Amino acid sequence: MITTSSIPLGNLKSDLRSAKGAIKKRGLAIKILQLIALILLDATSLILAWKLAAFYETSLESHLKAQASFELIILIVQLGIIASKGLYDVRVPSCNYARLITAISLSNFFLLLIAFFYEPNFYVSRSTFIMFWLLSVVFICTTRFIFYVATRNLYKLGVIRYPVFLITDVEEQDNNVKLIEKENCYKLIGVAEASSLDRHNREVILEFLYNQDVLEVFVSWNAIKKRLYLYWYFLSAGITLQILPIEREILPSKSKLSMIGDVPCLTIPAPLIAGGDFWVKRCFDIVCTIILLLLLSPVCLIIALLIKLDSPGPVFFKQNRIGLHCKQFKIWKFRTMNINAEKLLETLEAKNEIKDGILFKLKDDPRITRIGKLLRLYSLDELPQLFNVLLGEMSLVGPRPHTIRDVERFQANHFIRQEVLPGITGLWQVSGRSNIDNFEDGVKLDIIYIENWSLWLDLKILLKTVKVVLQKTGAY
C-alpha cells in the first residue's frame, strides 16, 4: 500500500511522451552518412550499367533517347524497389544478396513494362535489357560487397561502433552479452539488472543512458514484459529499444521485427524528432481549448446561474487531485453536490459500488443536487477543466486525475497513470464511464492508452466522447 507520504513531489519532469532534451535520433549523423554512401554507390552502379548496355545498342537515335530520358526513371524505380525490400538498413553489417538480386530483377521487369506501355515509340532491344540486368546485378552486388567489407573492417577497428546498453536478468546476462558482441557492430557500454527498470530506479538508469549517448538499449523479454510502457521513455530520449528474444504474440505499437544474429528481436525505433508528436498534441490542446471556451462561454454562464438558483454555495468546486508525477493541483468543476459533500463521504463509504474500494462511486448519491444530476448526465460539470488544460495541468485526453483519497489506495503498478498528463476524457471514459465497477479494469484501459498513444488515438477518443456523452452512456 502506498500513502501520500511516499508520493514523490520533488524533481518533477515532463510528461513521459515529451522529449527529455533530445532533439534528434541518437547516432543519426553517422547513419545518414552511411545511407548516402550506399545510395550513391547503387546509383553509380545503375547509371554505369545502363550506359554500358546502351552503348552497344544498334540504333544511335535510340541510344541518345535512352541516355536523355530513361536514366532518371531507372534510378527512381530501381532505388525505390531496393529500399522497399529493406536493403538500406545500414545498421546490418551484411547484405542479403538473394533479396538484392530479386529487387533488381523485379525493378528491371517494371522498367520493361514502362518502356513498352508508356514509351511505345521508344525502342530498346531485349538484348539491351538483358545486358542491363546482368550488369546491374554484377555492379551493385560488387559495390555492396566492397561497402560491407569496408564497414565490417571499420567495426573491427572500432572506428564505427554503435554504443549500446543491456538490461537483463542475471541468469540471461552471459548469453545476451555474447549475442550482442557476435554482431560486431556494437560497443557495449554496460549491463544492468532488470530491477533498474523498476519505478523507483528507472530515472537513474535513464539519465545514465542519456548522458552516455547510448544509441540502442537491449532489454531481455523477461526484464521488460511487465514494463512495456517504458518504451515511451526510450522514444522521448531518442534511444532505440531492442527487446530480445520476443514473445511473438505480444507486439506493442510502433514496433517491428528484426533479427539479431539468429534471434528474433522486437525493435521499437526512436523517432527522428523525439517528443515531436507530444508537442503537437500540446499545441492542439491549447488551440482547441481556446476555441471551446469562446464557443461555450454562454453555456457556462447559464450553468452558473442555474447552480446559484438551485442550491446555496459557490458556483465552482475546487478539489486537490494528484496529477503528473503525483504532483497535487486544484481541479475545477461546476459544483454538483451540496457544500458539505466531502464531510458526508465517510458515512457513505460502506455503500461504495466500486468492488475493490479504490475509487468511490455511488449511483444514487444523496449529496448530488438537482441541477448536479443534469450536469453529470452530460458531463457539463467538467467544462471548467478547460482552464486546467490551458495551465498545462491537464490535457484534453489522458487518464483521469484522482483524489488524494483514491491515490492513497493505489498499488505500485497503478502509478504508471501518473507518468502522463491527466485528461478531461480518456479511453476509460469512452469505454463505459461509470459502468466500469472495477478499478483494475480501468487501469488496464489507461495502460493500453499510454502504450498505444498517438495523435490519431486522441482524436478518436475525443470524437467518441461526444457520442458517449450525447447517449448518456454510463453516466451518473
402-403 sheet: strands from edge to edge: 328-334, 316-322, 402-403
Question: What contacts 120, CB < 8 A, 6 or more positions away?
Answer: none
**Architecture in CATH for domain 161-268:** 3-Layer(aba) Sandwich (3.40)
Which 8-state DSSP code applies to residue 364? T
356 dihedral zone (left: phi>0; alpha: psi -120 to 50; beta): alpha
Q: Is 326:415 a contact under the CB 8 Å cutoff?
A: yes
Provide the pairing of β-strand 216-220 with 162-167. Answer: parallel
Write the single-letter amino acid at 100: L
Question: What contacts 325, CB < 8 A, 6 or more positions away?
Answer: 8, 9, 12, 13, 418, 419
CA 105 to CA 181: how far, in whole Å?
A: 35
The beta strand positions in 284-327, using DSSP E, are: 316-322
Q: List the chain pLDDT tens, one digit each, 476 residues.
A: 334 344 443 444 577 777 765 445 556 677 788 888 899 999 999 889 888 887 766 544 444 444 556 677 788 888 888 888 878 877 665 678 888 898 888 888 887 777 666 555 555 566 777 888 899 999 999 999 998 888 878 877 777 777 889 999 888 888 888 888 877 778 888 999 888 888 778 778 888 887 887 888 999 887 877 666 777 878 777 788 888 765 444 455 566 666 666 666 667 766 655 667 788 888 999 999 999 999 999 999 999 999 999 888 899 989 899 998 889 999 999 998 888 777 777 677 666 666 555 666 667 777 888 898 889 888 899 999 999 999 999 999 999 998 888 888 888 778 888 888 999 999 888 886 556 667 788 888 888 888 788 888 999 999 999 888 887 665 55
φ, ψ for residue 31, nearest 5 deg: -70, -40
Q: Is 238:25 a contact under the CB 8 Å cutoff?
A: yes
3-state secondary structure 23-77: CCCCCHHHHHHHHHHHHHHHHHHHHHHHHHHHHCCCCHHHHHHHHHHHHHHHHHH
Domain boundaries, the chain: 28-157, 161-268, 276-471
Q: Is 306:381 a contact under the CB 8 Å cutoff?
A: no
